[in-house]
Structure 1
Amino acid sequence: MPEIKTTLDRLIHAMEGRYTKGMSPASLLLAYMDWLIHMGHSPGKMAEMTENILRKNSAFMLWASRAVFDPEIKPFIKPLSDDRRFKDPAWNKFPYNVISQNFMLNEQWWHYATTNIPGVAKHHENMVTFSARQWLDMLSPTNFAATNPVVANKTLASGGMNLMQGMQKLIEDMQHTLLEEQPAESDLKVGRDLAVTPGKVVYRNRLIELIQYTPTTEKVKAEPVLIVPAWIMKYYILDLSPGKSMVQYLVDQGYTVFMVSWHNPTVEDRDLSMKDYTQKGIMAALDVINKIVPDQKIHAAGYCLGGTLLSIAAAAMARDEDDRLQSMTLFTAQTDFTEAGELMLFIDESQLSYMEDMMWDKGYLDTKQMAGAFMLLRSYDLLWSRMVNEYLLGDKPGTSELMAWNSDATRMPYRMHSQYLRLLFLNNDLASGRYIVNDRPISLRDVRVPVFAVATVTDHVAPWKSVYKINDLFNTEITFVLTSGGHNAGIVSEPGHPRRNFQIGLQRAEDKHIPPDQWLQQHEKHQGSWWEPWVGWLESKSSPGHVLPPTLGNPDDGVFPLCDAPGNYVMEK
């Protein structure tokens, strides 16, 4: 009987989640109740808020009366440096300057009203502030034709054709949504335009395909490179188009490169665990590489979740005296999740329980739910600006390599994703030395191989100060790089890419702790791509000289080429 009741609860939560986009109503209600109750018990704060809005509005009304007659008037509120909504000069003219400034004034007040309430739990405060920001983003004057001067000017210039084209695009998108049809695929195709570096799939199991890339140099460095991407994404972000491919760049620099390509899970894979991703993923790949390049250590690199998994594997290997790693590189990978950015808004006991019930129903976390969470985190870039451009301005959406890759999402198995969120995000077991591998805990302090860690300045998924915590967790030499760009664009930073810069610093095991803000001040910016110093670092950690490239696979040891790169798993929808 208890099982029937539990199943009923899970079914109800799963059905609710389809309409709440995976957000737990209980979690949101708790946050708002916490905020409201403490606000009601803070008459001093309410008095401050009242005084603030009266004073600011009085000053604004005086400014607005002057703005009618003074076209050169300075803004009442200066937008933040990363706020691009009102950059167009048309927003400086009356009445649009008054409209935009009034909106920013309201934004300021709501931020003031939702923060620094005595007694409110920090997590609840962040949720309420985030929710208020989502509502304000939706009501921004940029989103409406009548209050957006850029839209008004284009409508006059085109005779309204932009609105007709936007309406046609809106109807097409609504049709795809209502009929659950897939929108038209990008003109960029995997295997033709993307992921085209030549190579062979040399191993396949239930979870991964291992790709070995064809050498382009007569001789190569003795130690091969294994890249472990995140399973929340397709691997080819690291092998985009020619000239923008990290894989191609490494191969051309004389490295033997292997890439893990993850299987896109289905309902049959619901019970795959974090242990499976470690054993059938990283450890299986290392075993195969040892057969193709015997008696050589391996440079391992991990991206995002793949870097976290690689850190787990490296700590377990160090504990078990498995010394097959020569070095470890981590791209935007967190090992301590206490400050894991705005993703933590979706992580609490109520939210995880709700998400687990949704995954239990399907057997996996749907791509739409993950896309929805990331869209909320960057609602202006991924939602509202797109709607304005396509539906109001009538612009046709462009297609770039990163956009095509970003739309090619993957699913998360029920068991693995639940373990990942609970053990790492919620409990922070890895940083606390409580994470269990093969029935025993591991410690990141056991890792002794040199580490090259990359963080990006504007990362919403793995904030750079969170990535920086690696300096306090590993007892080894760490080269830390902070590069311009975001979670994805900052990593795809090929030499010659315009407007790229980075800072780099070395911390040895015996060095004292440097706070992140102090680190930022102590290290100068270098123009260009961080790929170049990374390759120089890899060379410094490799054996001197070069050797003949290994064969693709090793039939003598049972490793046969199975098919051409990019393989089958990357094609799975």
Structure 2
Amino acid sequence: MASQTHDSAAPTLEELQRWTWVIGRAQQLMLEHGVETMLKVAETPPPGGALAAASLAPVPLAMPGLGGMGDAAALARAAGDFWMDALKLWTCALGGGLAGEAGGAPPARADRRFDAPEWRDHPTYDLIRQMYLLIGDHLLRGVDLIEGVEPQEREKLRFATRTMMDALSPSNFVFTNPLVMKKTLETGGENLLRGLEHLLKDLRQGQLSHVAPGAFELGKNLATTPGKVVKRTRLYELIQYAPTTTEVLETPLVIFPPWINRFYILDLSPKKSFIRWAVDQGLTVFVVSWKSADASMRDVTWDDYVAAQIDAVDTIRDLLGVRGVHTIGYCVAGTTLAATLAVLAARGEADKVASATFFTAQVDFSRAGDLKLFVDDDQLKMLEGLAPEGYFDGRYMAATFNLLRGRDLIWNYVVNNYLLGEDYPQFDLLHWNGDTTNLPAAWHRAYLADLYRDNKLVVPKALTVLGQPVDLRQVQTPAYVQAGREDHIAPPESVWKITDHFAGPLRFVLAGSGHIAGVVNPPSAGKYQYWTNANKAGSLAEFVAGATETPGSWWPDWIGWIEDRSRDKVSAKRARIPGKGALPALADAPGDYVRQR
């Protein structure tokens, strides 16, 4: 039932009745939620249950001391600049129009929050927009004027300022967002009621929703590549996929996805699936599906994940009777793969791995980006209180990653879900993004402290794994290193630094887009591009300066590199078919661990 637009200021009886119903229903929903919350608090909360009331709040940052605040003259000039810009803005507005960005606000830039034409065509909204951008610009400039602050603390303050400004954007509030106001008047406030329902549901589950519940189901419209679980340990399931070609490359492939996410990021819909595509290229593909941590894994350390990678490699070698396997490590699993290669090299067993591919993986964390802001002593101490049963609830990690791109992954959905009351999009990638996994707490803290904070992995023999001092300089395994140009989790400058530490032949590829879309980019999509450079480069900037750009996906470049390592083929039969070799099929892909919470 749509409301009508009236010229008179007085609402009709029908409109009054509708608003009365909307307000009454909103009060009822909030009352029900309050009662439900109080009843849950009265009971013994489940592990991680405290998230239900707090998970939508930004992850707290340890704020730096402000030292001497800054040079007085510089601060005075900054204050004067702000008020002069503000005066110009108001003078222009009162004079009959803002004329684009002439009022002193920062130059216009691509900002999807203000795409609606009303943000520029309507004088009031235009003034609100420009004043907001002006304040944000001057606040960020003011961070650089603060004296007595270490560079790391200054970056924290800059990040906190950006986060605060993102939260305070006028697009996030009903009365200062023209689209929300229009929708509210058109629906008689029913959009806000639907938004309240969405908000209360998210509070109950302790996580921001990106897609509608039940839109996707593993094995039905996600993770559908045919295969079998052929091994199960307390830490992982090993999935072998069915061949689609009569012959396959003799050297198989095993993929190690990050245990902070579900493996099916590489097996979304059939058209997006890297796993399905790799099988179609004639590879015998195995994937490790990590178990989401629970209290039984409180003693798990990095050694266990390295041992699991070696165990998976040995299992595949024995099953297929091959000397070595190709490996892929994605994100944190790529970091671990680097340590695995170093351990094997120290043992004299480097030939177990024929090649190593790294998807957006870091080994040198000196330029690891904004995530380094979350690994100081205060943050690590805070984490200790979040894992009383020995595991770290994955929703906290998801909130941290979302905060790194707050505009896109938090506030965009606050506006769409809570203010506009829109239906959730049916997007498989967003479903995966919300499908969180728990992490072993002891290992997670050690990972943040030893790698992100102290950067020990690149210090020869500073870390010992499985009794072997780790020295990346011993790694001579051929490596293919992929980075995402717009990656905010593993910045390309950070991924590039792997080239400073490995001793073997290495091919570096810079892909368009970011941490996910830069990897999950099938050739059929015809999207993005990638850059290669056959000449030796001393830095990423030097690599880019001499690079050749190729439109589309980098996947064909990778399979060509793989085939150059091992072109021998064998028939796709016996042990090459899941469950037909020495390892019986335990379950259909995608297995059981991927479904556990």
If the length of structure 2 is used for normalisation, what is the TM-score?
A: 0.85
Give me the whole-angstrom Cα distance separating, in 2, the residues matched to 1:467 and 1:24: 25
Is 1:145 the equivalent of 2:169? no
Is 1:564 the equivalent of 2:588? yes
Give me the whole-angstrom Cα distance separating, in 2, the residues matched to 1:462 and 1:314: 20
Secondary structure in structure 2 of the residue aligned to 1:492: coil
Provide the aligned C-alpha RMSD in A. 2.6
Task: State the partner residue of 2:523.
Answer: 495
Task: State the partner residue of 2:540.
Answer: 516
Give me the whole-angstrom Cα distance separating, in 2, the residues matched to 1:555 and 1:233: 26
Deviation at 1:65, TM superposition (A): 3.6
8 A contact 2:198–2:418 mirrored in 1: no
Task: State the partner residue of 1:355.
Answer: 383
Q: Can you list the C-alpha shifts for 1:93-121, whole angstroms capped at 9, x where unaligned?
A: 12222211111000111001112533311
8 A contact 2:320–2:576 mirrored in 1: no
What pairs up with 1:341-420 in 2 under 5 angstroms?
Answer: 341-359=369-387, 361-420=388-447
Give me the whole-angstrom Cα distance separating, in 2, the residues matched to 1:318 and 1:338: 24
Task: State the partner residue of 1:11.
Answer: none
8 A contact 1:256–1:549 mirrored in 2: no
8 A contact 2:75–2:145 mirrored in 1: no
Deviation at 1:81, TM superposition (A): 4.6
Change (3 A) 1:59 1:506: same
Task: State the partner residue of 2:345.
Answer: 318
Task: State the partner residue of 1:168.
Answer: 194
Give me the whole-angstrom Cα distance separating, in 2, the residues matched to 1:273 and 1:559: 27
Change (3 A) 1:457 1:306: same
Q: Can you list the C-alpha shifts for 1:409-463, whole angstroms capped at 9, x where unaligned?
A: 1000122112211211111111112121233311111111211111112211111
Task: State the partner residue of 2:90.
Answer: 61
Change (3 A) 1:275 1:123: same
Give me the whole-angstrom Cα distance separating, in 2, the residues matched to 1:329 and 1:267: 32
The counterpart of 2:270, out of the listed 242, 251, 260, is 242
Change (3 A) 1:544 1:417: same
Deviation at 1:562, TM superposition (A): 1.4
Instruction: Give structure 1 stretches of 5+ with no counterpart.
Output: 1-13
Task: State the partner residue of 1:9.
Answer: none
Q: Can you list the C-alpha shifts for 1:253-291, whole angstroms capped at 9, x where unaligned?
A: 100000000011111111111111111x20110111011
What pairs up with 1:34-183 in 2 under 5 angstroms?
Answer: 34-35=65-66, 37-39=67-69, 42-66=71-95, 68-69=96-97, 76-77=104-105, 81-93=109-121, 94-156=123-185, 159-161=186-188, 163-175=189-201, 177-178=203-204
Is 1:535 the equivalent of 2:559? yes
8 A contact 1:456–1:464 mirrored in 2: yes
Task: State the partner residue of 1:217.
Answer: 245
Q: Can you list the C-alpha shifts for 1:385-414, whole angstroms capped at 9, x where unaligned?
A: 111112222321102110111111100012
Change (3 A) 1:15 1:495: closer
Give me the whole-angstrom Cα distance separating, in 1, the residues matched to 2:149 and 2:551: 43
Give me the whole-angstrom Cα distance separating, in 2, the residues matched to 1:18 and 1:352: 22
Deviation at 1:172, TM superposition (A): 4.2
Is 1:255 the equivalent of 2:283? yes
If the length of structure 1 is used for normalisation, what is the TM-score?
A: 0.89
Give me the whole-angstrom Cα distance separating, in 1, the residues matched to 2:53 and 2:374: 16
8 A contact 2:243–2:572 mirrored in 1: no
What pairs up with 1:2-41 in 2 under 5 angstroms?
Answer: 28-29=62-63, 31=64, 34-35=65-66, 37-39=67-69
Secondary structure in structure 2 of the residue aligned to 1:525: strand
Change (3 A) 1:553 1:292: farther
8 A contact 2:143–2:158 mirrored in 1: yes
Give me the whole-angstrom Cα distance separating, in 2, the residues matched to 1:550 and 1:77: 69
Letter in 2 for 1:321: G
What pairs up with 1:280-359 in 2 under 5 angstroms?
Answer: 281-322=308-349, 323-359=351-387
Letter in 1 for 2:427: S
Secondary structure in structure 1 of the residue aligned to 2:309: helix
Task: State the partner residue of 2:214.
Answer: 186
8 A contact 2:59–2:399 mirrored in 1: no
Deviation at 1:505, TM superposition (A): 2.6
Secondary structure in structure 2 of the residue aligned to 1:452: strand
**More deviation, 255-264/384-393:** 384-393
Give me the whole-angstrom Cα distance separating, in 1, the residues matched to 2:276 and 2:587: 19
Identity, in percent, stands at 34
Deviation at 1:538, TM superposition (A): 0.9
8 A contact 1:462–1:487 mirrored in 2: yes
Give me the whole-angstrom Cα distance separating, in 2, the residues matched to 1:444 and 1:82: 41
Give me the whole-angstrom Cα distance separating, in 2, the residues matched to 1:58 and 1:282: 62
Deviation at 1:498, TM superposition (A): 4.3
